[in-house]
Structure 1
């Protein structure tokens, strides 16, 4: 997997105000990150996501799978999903990220974008079951993609190029004041997996 010439440097907070997004830089070397990417592409039971939009149920090009400590339902965008028991390699990675961040997580929502034609529009991770100030760790594997934060009221934007093996942690009131999106790019031909580790209140 190709990496940008300059690896991202860790930063305490990417946001100028009303939130806290810590950038840990590359927490996996290229060999380990590529091994995880190949394994997850082959072994996770990916399926298209389902969302309700203007009363209609839409199937997305993006694929997803959800894991958690216990079997439970997760509802968002008008659709209910059942959590799977942890894949052993994913659980190993979760434990590493917990050591890196000092946070504890009991679930992981994994998203697969086959190439740059697939992205994610503006949204906040403020689903039912998530505490208002919960921490969400987001690990990128695969193609480098532009990830953008946008303030709800001022509309100020903060852009970051997320690379293969890079980890960010969204904390505090970030989800209250900032939306985020994964931007599309026709130039990107490789897949990207995004693993978002969360603490749900089951």
Structure 2
């Protein structure tokens, strides 16, 4: 299966719109929805403690601890369904991963604000493989120097079973988000596979 490659400056973006067959998508979705140890985490911003606008979970190899905004995520051990999905993703993008962040967006009010996955423990040019299951949602990207260089933002609808791989200079030069929507939408599970190479980080959560 061939990927769609986007022509964007300072970025390497590859997209497989239907990597996972729909019957497998439903099976994976149901297993993850019921079998994941979801967390409702909070962060403190400007002295206020807020719930993250989504549920999340961190799985991976032993010792792959992740820290940001005063929050530390200790990995749960890999489950059979996560290992099965990881195998497909690794084969597709020719990369290996030792951890995955799962996000559960319960409805249109759940979101993920503008950020980059550019923590030092991910290395200089991290490969972030983002797999979507469940409700299709719109994903946005913008260049960090968009105003000065006149670079247009990108928008991409991520259907169930799709895989978006962001590599090269993407995290250094671009930000991305999953905005809220006023539409009535069903839940969505997103898995972002990554390879932690050293130390905890201080990445922004919103």
Q: Is the 8 A contact 1:148 1:181 kept in 2?
A: yes
Match of 2:125 in 1: 133
> Runs in 1 of length 4+ with deviation above 6 angstroms?
none
Distance 1:61 1:136 in 2: 21
Secondary structure, counterpart of 2:3 in structure 1: coil
Distance 1:114 1:177 in 2: 30
Match of 1:47 in 2: 39
Q: Is the 8 A contact 1:76 1:127 kept in 2?
A: no
Cα deviation 1:22-64 (Å, max 9, x = unaligned): 1122111110001101111111011113223124332213000
**2:106 matched to 1:114?**
yes
**2:11 matched to 1:11?**
no
Secondary structure, counterpart of 2:40 in structure 1: strand
Match of 1:104 in 2: 96
Higher strand share: 1
Find the partner of 1:74 among 66, 69, 85.
66
Give the root-mean-square deviation of aligned CA atoms. 1.5
Distance 2:36 2:196 in 1: 21
Q: TM-score, normalised by structure 1?
A: 0.90
Match of 2:137 in 1: 145
Find the partner of 2:49 among 45, 49, 57.
57
Find the partner of 2:26 among 26, 31, 34.
34
**2:156 matched to 1:160?**
yes
Tell me by how many angstroms 1:168 deviates.
Answer: 0.7
Match of 2:80 in 1: 88
Distance 1:69 1:75 in 2: 15
Distance 1:131 1:57 in 2: 30
Distance 1:71 1:125 in 2: 19
Q: Is the 8 A contact 2:64 2:99 kept in 1?
A: no
Larger mean CA deviation between 71-80 and 21-30 belongs to 71-80
Tell me by how many angstroms 1:15 deviates.
Answer: 4.5
Distance 2:65 2:91 in 1: 27
**2:171 matched to 1:175?**
yes
- Unmatched runs of 5 consecutive residues or more in structure 2: 199-206
Q: TM-score, normalised by structure 2?
A: 0.89
